[in-house]
């Protein structure tokens, strides 16, 4: 039961934006029944929403994705920054 509870807690944090520096952020996603590229798309959409809430535009710094496999879910992460819209 504790393994199930731990994995449920992990699910709740997928897609959360984590600040890595003064204007650098990370968002990661993983999920059943999808692909690494669809998880990357979700991560980028989350990054866009995060920057839009601050009135800024999102700039991708880097992305990584994994298609998953035996015992591993498809996943992706995006590192990004939020820039003033005038730039």
pLDDT-based confidence at 81, cuts 50/70/90?
A: very high
| Class at the top of the CATH hierarchy for domain 2-84 | alpha beta
| Phi, psi (degrees; rounded to nearest 5) at 79 | -105, 135
Rounded to a whole number of angstroms, the distance between the first and last alpha carbons of the chain is 50
pTM for the predicted model, two decimal places = 0.77
Report how far residue 31's alpha carbon sits from residue 67's, in angstroms, rounded to the nearest whole number.
10
Q: Which of 78, 86, 8 is nearest to 37 (CA)?
A: 78
Q: What is the pLDDT at residue 9? A: 35
Q: What is the pLDDT at residue 14? A: 62
């Amino acid at each position: 039961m504790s393994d199930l509870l731990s994995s449920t807690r992990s699910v709740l944090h997928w897609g959360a934006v984590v600040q890595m520096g003064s204007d650098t952020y990370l968002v990661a996603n993983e999920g059943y029944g999808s692909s690494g590229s669809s998880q990357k798309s979700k991560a980028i959409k989350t990054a866009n929403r995060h920057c839009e809430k601050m009135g800024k535009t999102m700039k991708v710094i880097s992305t990584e994705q994994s298609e998953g496999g035996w015992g591993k879910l498809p996943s992706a992460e995006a590192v990004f920054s939020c820039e003033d819209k005038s730039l």
